[in-house]
Structure 1
Amino acid sequence: MTDDRTIDLTGREERPAWDALLARFAGTRVAVVGETCLDTWYDGRPRGMSREGPVPVVEVDGQSDAPGAAANAARGLAALGAAVRFVSVVGEDAEGALVRDLLARDGVDVSSVLTVPGRRTVAKRRVCADGQVVARFDTGDAVEPPAGAVADLVGALAGAVAGCPVVLAADYDAGLFTGEVRRALVAAVRAEGALLVVDAHDPLRWADLAPDLVKPDAEEVEAVLGAAELRAFREDRLGFVAEHGDALRERLGAATLVVTLDADGAVVVAPGSSVHVPVRPVAGAAPAGAGDTFAAGAVLALAAGAPVVDAARVGCAASSVAVRQPGTAVCRLPQLHDELLRAGSAVVAAGQLTALAATHRSMGRRIVFTNGCFDVLHRGHVAYLDAARRQGDVLVVGVNSDPSVRRLKGPDRPVNPAGDRVAVLAGLAAVDHVVEFDGDTPADLLRALRPDVYVKGGDYTEAMLEEAPLVRELGGEVRIVDYVEDRSTTGLLERVRALRTLELPGGATEPEPLA
């Protein structure tokens, strides 16, 4: 960290050294200041509608409790190996005692979690029927603590942030962050020479205190926009942040902004520049705790010395892990490593395949490989890749380079250059890694990867594949999967050419080249 608390915006295009970064997570000190909540999930099966009113009946057969709100961020940091100090208040009640016990069990230092007599700890209880939330009921006091508790909080801050390179203020707008507490926290952080990261429901409340980094989500961005800005943001969120990110950053008083946009990933905004960090698609994701988990991963990466763009990549990967799990979940270090391996290295070089395969095999994964031009992606491709992915645990897709496509398909192909084809494939949920190759066959890739399964579509037979003997020699098997009838790039382009021919003036019969 630099003395003037600037954040490195460097975003490396090559795969970062994740192993080295994650190794620095262990024992890195981070302080979290924010509100505490108890999240309770009741799970069961639906039993129709109640006779007492138009509400579903759920036969509850399970209950899980977890720290929520800022306490979830603290728990998430501990799950990644950090030495976490948590500053908060709870009531002198069963809910407060349970949250403290859960945090302590997970390794969070709760010595600065103050118990306030007469206060009710905030609790959010959700009822789920077959995994679907059907009701939520909240209890507790989301109001400012009494003056004595505020004074105790202020007194605890300096000791809590000591030795922490980064401090997270997780402001759920539930009473803890009075003006006095906010000013005292900023003073303690500045005295320590640490970075202040603010994750607030109302980030404007912090603007006059000039945080080092503010992390608003889409809803929090919308709350600070005017009517015209709001319409533009909703029409094109990524485009709006890219164009107006500097103005938004200045409005929120932040040196750096990280805007999280759920399925659209995150955008890192620094003076005069912005970087989009995509997220790997997650099918059927539930949103509980995703923002806390993103904050935990990103803050710890910053504390471990990562550039802010890489920290955002860590945050995106961590939140992707959390939303795949039921309830209020966290991301643990092995899960983060796995997600970064899949998402952060979706596009790989041929020279990385041997090491990549060794890593996946060390985790007991079955590797599937397929290849093709994938020039104009269509329904048949998507169905085929989904089927290929089901043959194992990891799907690697080889993509013919532009010169290779021209040799195979003719001088008018490809329609889309290799960079575009690779990027589209890397965005599919079924695809774990994409690698470009220049040969007419993927023989070199097969030798490097040694896949357990080599997959081709149903328009092939094994006898037609000259690389099939090599796959067998390397210890793999060849599988032919079904494909969608009448769906091919060649057929699609023929239909486009036919339409263009009809539209040419003067009754011309030959269309112009598409490429």
Structure 2
Amino acid sequence: MNLLDVEQLVHNLSDLKFLVIGDLLLDKYLFGDSQRISPEAPIPVVDILREEVRLGGAGNVANNLAVLGCGVEVVSVVGTDPEGMQLKGLLQRQGIRGDGVLCVSARVTPCKTRILASNQQMLRLDREECFAIAPSQETQLLDFVRQVVPNVDVVVISDYQKGVLTDHLLGRLIECCASADCPVIADPKGDDFSRYQGVSLLTPNHKEVELASATKINSPEVLISVGQSLQQKLNLGALLVTRGKDGMSLFVSDQPPDHLPTEARDIYDVTGAGDTVLAFCAVGLANGFSVLKSAMLANIAAGIVVGKVGTSTVSAAEVLMAAIDRDQSGSGKVLFPEQLDIVIAGHRQAGKTIVFTNGCFDLLHAGHIKYLQRARELGDLLVLGLNSDASIRRLKGETRPLLCQTERAQILAALDCVDYVTVFAEDTPLELIRLVKPDVLAKGGDYSPEQVVGREYVESYGGTLVLVEFQKGKSTTNIIEEVLTRYRD
């Protein structure tokens, strides 16, 4: 999977539709600070500072898809207790359709409460009663699935063994999807994987595979043997084994296994990582990716989500930025305006201060470097708009530029002080400034504020213009004249 695949996927996300079936959980987080030990017992005292509630279980899978802008419908059973009502409200708030969620008075909605201090989990409290839903409820869920499955791209099964996905219901669901020619992928639980026989893709983790196969996987050879055996025995379209720090292994019939190294940089919290893998595998398949490309996409997303605290999601902008960083062409900082739009949105969501400047930067010299370094110091990242070759010819004549736009962009992208470079073809960067919407507009000190293109627009939403002094005597024109003087016959 390459950068172009991810770009194409990002543009298609809003057209993809999913049905998520499984156990809905409510995840509660109590964030606090711990500076002392209780006098009553040798335990830390946590002073609670704030509380959060999040969608967990199948809800986290659905939320991962909704955050990407996909259409999502959920099928499940919850109680009529406060936790169940909170879950319904969270679904609605996230734009996830919950018409297929039954509310049953006799059911306790599973709830996990995590207490954290300095973003480290101190304790988890679980409140749940795990018993199978009634046959009448199975029938209601299955009838709903039959109605909506012809209109979705992929059905996603998220099993947390809380009682919604009974053996009977699972079997009928898989049959229903097969009849509708709709791919179905599942994240399993328990020691009996035969319940998921015939799914398009199964995504267990390493420990779950050991449990289901009753085999200790202590070598690559054992992993391959067990993986291939399960894939064939269960008649799976594919088996994707997630292996934590060791990455992922994909098993497809009549093909050698593919091993994907982990994409994680900093592993902070693995809570919900399996949900993210499941969601992004579904996105890849719905977009027409092969199973291998879908697994690669999920691997990138998992590498992002484990760097976050608690049950979290991954945005399209984050995936695109990660794909740009790993792009083997080495041009990860040189973006088209459409790419830049999505990437900047991700940085803005993260609260970064965005600085923009522009210019020709033909024959890069020390004056340029000092200017760009000073501009970068004005914020958290610097976006550089680079005049195209054609626009420079219109500005400076047919003998310029000396270096083509591709070379100029690559040289600028090699600078640590420049975060992103994009080429614009217009005579002024106004349209690019409107796209980036920078917090700070930087321009050379040889301009007056009235002369700076985009100043009024940036100031209209509270941004600022900063004039940065150029180093005197340093210019491309001077360098050209010096070369001509020295080497003139």
Alpha-carbon distance change, 109 to 392 in structure 1, aligned in 2, over 3 angstroms: closer
Alpha-carbon distance change, 333 to 121 in structure 1, aligned in 2, over 3 angstroms: same
Residue 415 of structure 2 is aligned to residue 453 of structure 1: yes
Instruction: State which of 191, 204, 218 in structure 2 corresponds to 1:234.
Output: 218
CA deviation profile, 1:48-67 (whole Å, cap 9, x unmatched): 22222222110001111001
1:35-114 matches, within 5 Å, as 35-114=23-102
Alpha-carbon distance change, 240 to 71 in structure 1, aligned in 2, over 3 angstroms: same
- Return 5+ residue gaps in structure 1 as ranges: 1-11, 367-390, 395-443, 456-471, 475-515
- Return 5+ residue gaps in structure 2 as ranges: 345-353, 357-378, 383-405, 418-473, 477-489
SS at match of 1:301: helix
- Inter-partner Cα distance in structure 2 for 1:16 and 1:235: 35
Q: Is the 8 A contact 2:269 2:309 kept in 1?
A: yes
Alpha-carbon distance change, 139 to 354 in structure 1, aligned in 2, over 3 angstroms: closer
Q: CA deviation at 1:128?
A: 0.6
CA deviation profile, 1:341-364 (whole Å, cap 9, x unmatched): 223x2x2257x7744899569735
Q: CA deviation at 1:222?
A: 1.5
1:410-449 matches, within 5 Å, as 448-449=410-411
Alpha-carbon distance change, 356 to 282 in structure 1, aligned in 2, over 3 angstroms: farther
Aligned counterpart, 2:351: none
Q: Which moved more, 1:356-365 or 1:24-33?
A: 356-365
1:303-314 matches, within 5 Å, as 303-314=286-297
- Inter-partner Cα distance in structure 2 for 1:324 and 1:393: 21
- Inter-partner Cα distance in structure 2 for 1:25 and 1:359: 15
Per the normalisation by structure 1, the TM-score is 0.65
Q: Given residue 260 of structure 2, which amino acid in structure 1 is its aligned partner? A: V
Q: CA deviation at 1:214?
A: 0.7
Q: Given residue 201 of structure 2, which amino acid in structure 1 is its aligned partner? A: L
Q: Is the 8 A contact 2:193 2:212 kept in 1?
A: no
Q: CA deviation at 1:244?
A: 4.7
Q: Given residue 312 of structure 1, which amino acid in structure 2 is its aligned partner? A: A
Alpha-carbon distance change, 338 to 355 in structure 1, aligned in 2, over 3 angstroms: closer
CA deviation profile, 1:65-123 (whole Å, cap 9, x unmatched): 00101111011111111111100010011000101111111111100000011211000
Alpha-carbon distance change, 203 to 311 in structure 1, aligned in 2, over 3 angstroms: farther
- Inter-partner Cα distance in structure 2 for 1:257 and 1:209: 11
Q: CA deviation at 1:393?
A: 6.6
Aligned counterpart, 1:128: 116
Aligned counterpart, 2:301: 318
Per the normalisation by structure 2, the TM-score is 0.68
Alpha-carbon distance change, 16 to 130 in structure 1, aligned in 2, over 3 angstroms: same
- Inter-partner Cα distance in structure 2 for 1:121 and 1:104: 17
CA deviation profile, 1:428-458 (whole Å, cap 9, x unmatched): xxxxxxxxxxxxxxxx977624137359xxx
Q: Is the 8 A contact 2:171 2:195 kept in 1?
A: no
Q: Is the 8 A contact 1:161 1:167 kept in 2?
A: yes
SS at match of 2:309: coil
Instruction: State which of 25, 30, 34 in structure 1 corresponds to 2:22.
Output: 34
SS at match of 2:21: strand
- Inter-partner Cα distance in structure 2 for 1:134 and 1:45: 11
Q: Is the 8 A contact 1:112 1:160 kept in 2?
A: no
Q: Is the 8 A contact 1:206 1:253 kept in 2?
A: no
Aligned counterpart, 1:274: 257
Alpha-carbon distance change, 28 to 263 in structure 1, aligned in 2, over 3 angstroms: same
Aligned counterpart, 1:186: 174
Instruction: State which of 261, 270, 288 in structure 2 corresponds to 1:287.
Output: 270
- Inter-partner Cα distance in structure 2 for 1:290 and 1:303: 20
Aligned counterpart, 1:3: none
Q: How many residues align?
A: 366
Alpha-carbon distance change, 50 to 359 in structure 1, aligned in 2, over 3 angstroms: same
- Inter-partner Cα distance in structure 2 for 1:311 and 1:91: 35
Alpha-carbon distance change, 72 to 365 in structure 1, aligned in 2, over 3 angstroms: farther
Aligned counterpart, 2:150: 162
Residue 321 of structure 2 is aligned to residue 334 of structure 1: no
Alpha-carbon distance change, 16 to 260 in structure 1, aligned in 2, over 3 angstroms: farther
Q: Which moved more, 1:206-215 or 1:161-170?
A: 206-215
Q: CA deviation at 1:312?
A: 1.1
Residue 238 of structure 2 is aligned to residue 256 of structure 1: yes
Q: CA deviation at 1:135?
A: 0.6
SS at match of 2:212: coil
Residue 281 of structure 2 is aligned to residue 298 of structure 1: yes
Sequence identity percentage: 23
Q: CA deviation at 1:162?
A: 2.6
Aligned counterpart, 1:348: 329
- Inter-partner Cα distance in structure 2 for 1:358 and 1:76: 23
SS at match of 1:188: helix
Alpha-carbon distance change, 354 to 136 in structure 1, aligned in 2, over 3 angstroms: closer
SS at match of 1:24: helix
- Inter-partner Cα distance in structure 2 for 1:207 and 1:315: 24
SS at match of 2:14: coil
Q: Given residue 234 of structure 1, which amino acid in structure 2 is its aligned partner? A: N
- Inter-partner Cα distance in structure 2 for 1:208 and 1:44: 41
CA deviation profile, 1:116-168 (whole Å, cap 9, x unmatched): 11211000001011111111111022211233322322222212323112111
Q: Is the 8 A contact 1:88 1:176 kept in 2?
A: yes
Q: CA deviation at 1:25?
A: 1.4
Q: CA deviation at 1:245?
A: 3.0
Q: Is the 8 A contact 2:171 2:196 kept in 1?
A: no
Q: Given residue 412 of structure 2, which amino acid in structure 1 is its aligned partner? A: R
- Inter-partner Cα distance in structure 2 for 1:225 and 1:187: 24
SS at match of 2:192: helix
- Inter-partner Cα distance in structure 1 for 2:411 and 2:88: 48
Q: Given residue 294 of structure 2, which amino acid in structure 1 is its aligned partner? A: A
Q: Is the 8 A contact 1:208 1:253 kept in 2?
A: no
SS at match of 2:271: coil
Q: Is the 8 A contact 2:264 2:304 kept in 1?
A: no
Q: CA deviation at 1:17?
A: 2.4
Q: CA deviation at 1:281?
A: 2.9
- Inter-partner Cα distance in structure 2 for 1:277 and 1:356: 28
SS at match of 1:334: helix
Q: CA deviation at 1:27?
A: 3.1
CA root-mean-square deviation? 3.0
Q: Is the 8 A contact 1:207 1:253 kept in 2?
A: no
